[in-house]
């Protein structure tokens, strides 16, 4: 069976974490269950449950319609709750980017886990431990040396290393190019050299280069190119394990973000993530509001390309405002063109920031406040570390 | 007594954290005590103990020479160990940026703690709790309304709110301008309106605008301007509590970073922080090394001003290499001008990245590996959240 990682949510197949335990002692935040959103201590990362559920269901429908399996990537949210939502409650078939995530989700009852990262041969014993305790723990590689490392550490107990060949179909990060003769040699070596120790599961590609795009058409073109490159490679080489495109591994789509909206992957109403922040000062002589959200709660993602802080977030419901300053714990807001109406934003009032990159913003928060009808209905605790 | 926050390390007086417990179950990483640095799981944040101790001692000497008190800001490292080092073991007299930090350090036996952030009136009960349990918990404000909030919540038990007036001496973030008549009115109100409930400790300014500078001269000029603005304000207004500049509150100086080196605040050999990363792939057709450190372990700080990823870190000992790509968990290195010598960087070899902004990079890590003579001698666990 051949596999292709093709990402409507354009996730980055990575985020390595060392810590497997939830990062926030639940007792410290459990008091906020049932609280009104605007009473939360700020900055606070919030997730609209209705929107996240709709995003999850739509992706399942999309995959059903495409006739491919959905293997959700959990690296954006890094939570068991998000994994449950994305797998429709089955806890089976996810992609992770770090060993810490793999352990965390395995401890949480998940199985059929793909470590969607070049197999860390320096930590092979950890990989072997996961392969032994799980029904299916998949790794990927793009080097013969990595295959040799796996063969030097057979799993025994009737277990085999489940290996995907990582292809680089234009993303220019990890992977062997499908046009490179080494790709076929490596695929054949994985498939045939030690069938009792290693099994070729399929091939894997990532459309990370869509990050550089604008517009759904361009993204679809890249996705099509990637798909064709993989399928041509598969068709050209008679390795029975490779038949058709069978899986999609999106990750960002549960939350979406400003970047995905700009890329055309989603509509503004599909973005479930916000960072709530309070106005903590009025500075009339500069026409600026000071808010209690800095890069420590938002990240600096989106500030590139000369955009500065205003690229890092949009202010929900206030297109007239723009973020003009970000330090560790402070944000500065200005009116985009006219006069700041300070009366509309009293000190203590709460604004909701729509982050540019959900993966980056989520990584800054020890807890996510999941809400419905204006109240906190759940607390999600992400894993961290590597 | 008047206070001035003047920062040789140019810290940002902020980083708000909700979680007070260390973020990494010590058992998970304790196994690395005594380990050789190049055996650590990567990416790994490391601190050179000798350099950090020297930085701490130098700052104490500098303050002794200036005849001012050192109140170290802990927001860069957020660890009890770093606080002990910076206070010379006294655990007395620190600046924090968040209530979570304040609780964390109070729980760790620290006292005389300044919350160097506009007093969060929405969380006044938490502030009152700290003021009651500590010998000295200081807050700062720049609005009459904040003073009114404190007066509406007297501490009782013979305790008074210890308040600093936040001045904006050109930084353009929080603070009232010393030339604004409101500054004197507010200082007088803090000092005189309710002496049994509120005590004016002093005035506070921050030279964050030095971040925009290049060169020690420019930074010193801004520091001088800031100092003069504060002292002129103090001298012009006969409030006995304000006499002379008495404290410095640097924070970044324990670690320093690439940015501080470029700003001229330190020499390259003073930078104690590194992010260790392993080479995980060779891509000869692009002349690139793939490493296992992405923005999740480094942050994107330094990528601004069109610099791109190469602004985010320097590669220690390898000026010929530059960081040309950063995704969540991957970094791409190229030769700055010539041919990449892949033989020098075998897959599995470890490189040390010197981060652009220590505060931002430290915020991405649940544990810091402190080393001496190539071995891990301590594990520091930072607090997170708000």
**Residues of chain A neighbouring B277 (CB-CB closer than 8 A):** none
Q: How many CB atoms sit inside 10 A of residue B337's CB?
A: 7
What tokens does A266 get? 């989603």
B174 to A44, A234, B14, B18, B75: CA distances (angstroms): 21, 60, 11, 22, 17
Residue A69 neighbours by CB under 8 Å, 6+ apart: A63, A93, A246, A247, A248
Burial-class residue B265 by CB neighbours within 10 Å (0-12, 13-18, 19+). Answer: buried
Q: Does residue B216 have a pLDDT over 70?
A: no
**Residues of chain A neighbouring B173 (CB-CB closer than 8 A):** 290, 325, 327, 330, 332
- Identify the band that residue A66 occupies on the pLDDT scale cut at 50, 70 and 90: confident
The residue with tokens 């570390």 is: A385
What tokens does B383 get? 């607090």
Question: Within an 8 Å CB–CB cutoff, is residue A98 touching chain B?
Answer: yes
Q: B85 to chain A nearest CA, in Å?
A: 23
Q: Does residue A240 have a pLDDT over 70?
A: no
Average pLDDT of the segment spanning A290-319: 94
Question: Within an 8 Å CB–CB cutoff, is residue B306 touching chain A?
Answer: yes
* Closest by CA position to B252, among listed B289, B292, B219: B219
Instruction: Say what the pLDDT of residue B3 is.
Output: 38
Instruction: Say what the pLDDT of residue A353 is.
Output: 98
Average pLDDT of the segment spanning A276-302: 97
Nearest CA in chain B to A357: B328
Instruction: Say what the pLDDT of residue A169 is.
Output: 85
Q: Which of B168, B278, B327 sits opposite A12 (nearest CB)?
A: B327
The pLDDT tens digits of the residues spanning A158-188 come to 999 999 999 998 888 999 998 899 998 999 9
E-state strands within chain A: 18-19, 44-48, 69-70, 92-96, 111-118, 137-141, 161-166, 198-204, 247-248, 273-283, 288-291, 313-315, 321-326, 331-335, 350-355, 368-372, 375-380, 384-385
B306 to A303, A305, A350, B257: CA distances (angstroms): 10, 6, 33, 20
Q: Which residues 225-284 in chain B show a CB within 8 A of chain A?
A: 278, 280-281, 283
Q: B65 to chain A nearest CA, in Å?
A: 30
| Bridge partners, B176 (sequence order) | B167
Q: Which of B173, B290, B386 sits opposite A174 (nearest CB)?
A: B290
E-state strands within chain B: 18-19, 44-48, 69-70, 92-96, 111-118, 137-141, 161-166, 198-204, 247-248, 273-283, 288-291, 313-315, 321-326, 331-335, 350-355, 368-372, 375-380, 384-385
Question: Within an 8 Å CB–CB cutoff, is residue B20 touching chain A?
Answer: yes
Instruction: Say what the pLDDT of residue A21 is.
Output: 33
Instruction: Say what the pLDDT of residue A298 is.
Output: 98
What is the ipTM metric for this complex?
0.89
Between chains, do A12 and B98 touch, taking CB under 8 Å as contact?
Answer: no
Average pLDDT of the segment spanning A336-350: 96
Residue B49 DSSP SS3: helix
Between chains, do A296 and B14 touch, taking CB under 8 Å as contact?
Answer: yes
Question: Within an 8 Å CB–CB cutoff, is residue A346 touching chain B?
Answer: no
Instruction: Say what the pLDDT of residue A235 is.
Output: 66
The pLDDT tens digits of the residues spanning B107-136 come to 999 999 999 999 999 999 999 999 999 999
What tokens does B108 get? 């760790």
Instruction: Say what the pLDDT of residue B236 is.
Output: 64
Q: Which of B208, B308, B360 sits opposite A295 (nearest CB)?
A: B360
- Identify the band that residue A303 occupies on the pLDDT scale cut at 50, 70 and 90: very high
Instruction: Say what the pLDDT of residue A130 is.
Output: 98
Question: Within an 8 Å CB–CB cutoff, is residue B35 touching chain A?
Answer: no
Instruction: Say what the pLDDT of residue B4 is.
Output: 41
* Closest by CA position to B234, among listed B191, B286, B277: B191
Phi, then psi, of A120 in degrees rounded to 5 = -75, 90
Between chains, do B28 and A19 touch, taking CB under 8 Å as contact?
Answer: yes
**Which range has the worst mean pLDDT, B25-39, B107-121, B199-213, B303-317?**
B199-213
Between chains, do A364 and B366 touch, taking CB under 8 Å as contact?
Answer: no
B267 preceded by a cis bond (ω within 30 of 0):
no
What tokens does B45 get? 């944040």
Please tell me chain B's helix, strand, coil percentages from 3-state DSSP, rounded to the nearest 5: 35, 25, 40
Instruction: Say what the pLDDT of residue B33 is.
Output: 95
Question: Within an 8 Å CB–CB cutoff, is residue B367 touching chain A?
Answer: yes
**Residues of chain A neighbouring B43 (CB-CB closer than 8 A):** 16, 386
Q: How far apart, in whole angstroms, are the C-alpha atoms of residue B99 and residue B20?
A: 9
* Closest by CA position to B96, among listed A149, B358, B79: B79
Which is higher by pLDDT, B102 or A240? B102
CA dihedral A285, A291, A295, A300 (to 10 degrees): -60
- Identify the band that residue A210 occupies on the pLDDT scale cut at 50, 70 and 90: low
Which is higher by pLDDT, A367 or B7? A367
What tokens does A353 get? 């920031």
Which is higher by pLDDT, A10 or B58? B58
Between chains, do B297 and A16 touch, taking CB under 8 Å as contact?
Answer: yes
**Residues of chain A neighbouring B78 (CB-CB closer than 8 A):** none
Cβ contact B301:B312 at 8 Å: yes
Between chains, do A15 and B278 touch, taking CB under 8 Å as contact?
Answer: no
Which is higher by pLDDT, A22 or A58? A58
Nearest CA in chain B to A42: B386
Residue A176 DSSP SS3: strand
Number of H helices, E strands in chain B: 11, 18
**Which range has the worst mean pLDDT, A282-286, B100-104, B240-244, B312-316?**
B240-244
Instruction: Say what the pLDDT of residue A229 is.
Output: 75
Nearest CA in chain B to A350: B122
Average pLDDT of the segment spanning B74-102: 97
Q: Does residue B6 have a pLDDT over 50?
A: no
Instruction: Say what the pLDDT of residue B59 is.
Output: 95
Instruction: Say what the pLDDT of residue B24 is.
Output: 44
Which is higher by pLDDT, A8 or A101? A101
Q: How far apart, in whole angstroms, are the C-alpha atoms of residue B43 and residue B23?
A: 17
Question: Within an 8 Å CB–CB cutoff, is residue A330 touching chain B?
Answer: yes
Average pLDDT of the segment spanning A184-209: 88
Which is higher by pLDDT, A25 or A156? A156
Interface test with A, best of B366, B369, B381, B383 (most A CBs within 10 A): B366
Instruction: Say what the pLDDT of residue A3 is.
Output: 38
Between chains, do A42 and B386 touch, taking CB under 8 Å as contact?
Answer: yes
Global pTM?
Answer: 0.89
Long-range own/partner contacts, residues B167-170 (CB < 8 A, 24 or more apart) = B167/B142, B167/B203, B167/B204, B167/B205, B167/B229, B167/B230, B167/B233, B168/A283, B168/B142, B168/B205, B169/B205, B169/B207, B169/B225, B169/B226, B169/B229, B169/B230, B170/B209, B170/B222, B170/B225, B170/B226, B170/B229
CB pairs under 8 A between A and B: 203
The residue with tokens 């695929």 is: A187
**Which range has the worst mean pLDDT, A186-200, B235-249, B255-269?**
B235-249
**Which range has the worst mean pLDDT, A73-87, A264-278, B201-215?**
B201-215
Question: Within an 8 Å CB–CB cutoff, is residue B295 touching chain A?
Answer: yes
**Residues of chain B neighbouring A364 (CB-CB closer than 8 A):** 363
* Closest by CA position to B352, among listed B8, B47, B53, B19: B47
Question: Within 13 Å of residue B217, how many CA atoms lie on the same side as its CB?
Answer: 0
- Output the CA torsion sign for A336, A339, A343, A346: positive
Instruction: Say what the pLDDT of residue A304 is.
Output: 82
**Which range has the worst mean pLDDT, A70-84, A202-216, B246-260?**
A202-216
Residue B291 DSSP SS3: strand
E-state strands within B205-339: 247-248, 273-283, 288-291, 313-315, 321-326, 331-335
Report the percent of chain A where pLDDT is more than 70. Answer: 85
Q: B198 to chain A nearest CA, in Å?
A: 21
Q: Which of B172, B299, B327 sits opposite A173 (nearest CB)?
A: B327
**Residues of chain B neighbouring A177 (CB-CB closer than 8 A):** 285
Instruction: Say what the pLDDT of residue B245 is.
Output: 60
Instruction: Say what the pLDDT of residue A219 is.
Output: 64
Q: What is the DSSP string of A222-271?
A: HHHHHHHHHHHHHHHS--TT--S--EE---GGGT--HHHHHHTSS-GGG-
Average pLDDT of the segment spanning A118-136: 97
Average pLDDT of the segment spanning A202-214: 70
Instruction: Say what the pLDDT of residue A94 is.
Output: 98
The pLDDT tens digits of the residues spanning B133-161 come to 999 999 999 999 999 999 999 999 999 99
Between chains, do B330 and A359 touch, taking CB under 8 Å as contact?
Answer: no
Average pLDDT of the segment spanning A142-153: 97
Between chains, do B280 and A173 touch, taking CB under 8 Å as contact?
Answer: no
**Which range has the worst mean pLDDT, A27-31, A46-50, A73-77?**
A27-31
Q: Does residue B45 have a pLDDT over 90?
A: yes
Q: How far apart, in whole angstroms, are the C-alpha atoms of residue A275 and residue A240?
A: 48
Average pLDDT of the segment spanning A132-141: 97
Question: Within an 8 Å CB–CB cutoff, is residue A15 touching chain B?
Answer: yes
B230 preceded by a cis bond (ω within 30 of 0):
no
Q: How many CB atoms sit inside 10 A of residue B33's CB?
A: 14
């Amino acid at each position: 069976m051949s596999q292709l990682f093709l990402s409507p949510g354009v996730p980055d197949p990575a985020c390595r974490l060392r810590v497997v335990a939830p990062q926030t002692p639940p007792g410290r935040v459990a008091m906020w269950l049932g609280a009104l959103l605007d009473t939360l201590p700020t900055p606070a990362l919030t997730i609209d449950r209705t929107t996240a559920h709709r995003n999850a269901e739509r992706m399942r429908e999309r995959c059903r319609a495409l006739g491919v399996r959905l293997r959700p990537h959990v690296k954006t949210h890094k939570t068991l709750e998000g994994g449950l939502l994305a797998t429709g409650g089955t806890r089976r078939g996810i992609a992770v980017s770090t060993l810490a995530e793999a352990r965390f989700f395995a401890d949480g009852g998940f199985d059929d886990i793909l470590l969607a990262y070049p197999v860390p041969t320096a930590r092979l014993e950890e990989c072997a431990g996961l392969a032994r305790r799980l029904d299916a723990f998949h790794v990927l590689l793009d080097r013969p040396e990595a295959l040799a490392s796996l063969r030097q550490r057979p799993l025994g107990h009737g277990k085999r290393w489940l290996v995907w060949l990582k292809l680089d179909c234009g993303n220019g990060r990890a992977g062997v190019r499908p046009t490179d003769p080494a790709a076929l040699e490596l695929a054949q070596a994985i498939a045939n050299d030690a069938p009792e120790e290693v099994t070729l599961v399929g091939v894997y590609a990532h459309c990370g280069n869509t990050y550089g795009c604008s517009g759904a058409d361009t993204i679809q073109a890249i996705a099509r190119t990637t798909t064709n490159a993989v399928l041509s490679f598969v068709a050209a080489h008679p390795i029975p394990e490779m038949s058709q495109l069978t899986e999609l591994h999106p990750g960002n789509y549960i939350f979406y973000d400003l970047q995905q909206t700009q890329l055309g992957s989603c509509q503004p109403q599909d973005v479930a993530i916000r960072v709530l922040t309070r106005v903590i000062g009025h500075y009339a002589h500069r026409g600026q509001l000071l808010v209690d959200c800095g890069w420590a709660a938002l990240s600096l993602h989106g500030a590139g390309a000369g955009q500065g802080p205003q690229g890092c977030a949009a202010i929900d419901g206030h297109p007239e405002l723009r973020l003009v300053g970000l330090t560790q714990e402070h944000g500065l807001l200005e009116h985009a063109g006219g006069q700041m109406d300070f009366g509309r934003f009293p000190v203590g009032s709460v604004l909701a920031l729509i982050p540019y990159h959900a993966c980056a913003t989520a990584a800054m928060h020890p807890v996510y406040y999941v809400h419905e009808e204006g109240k906190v209905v759940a607390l999600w605790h992400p894993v961290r570390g590597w």
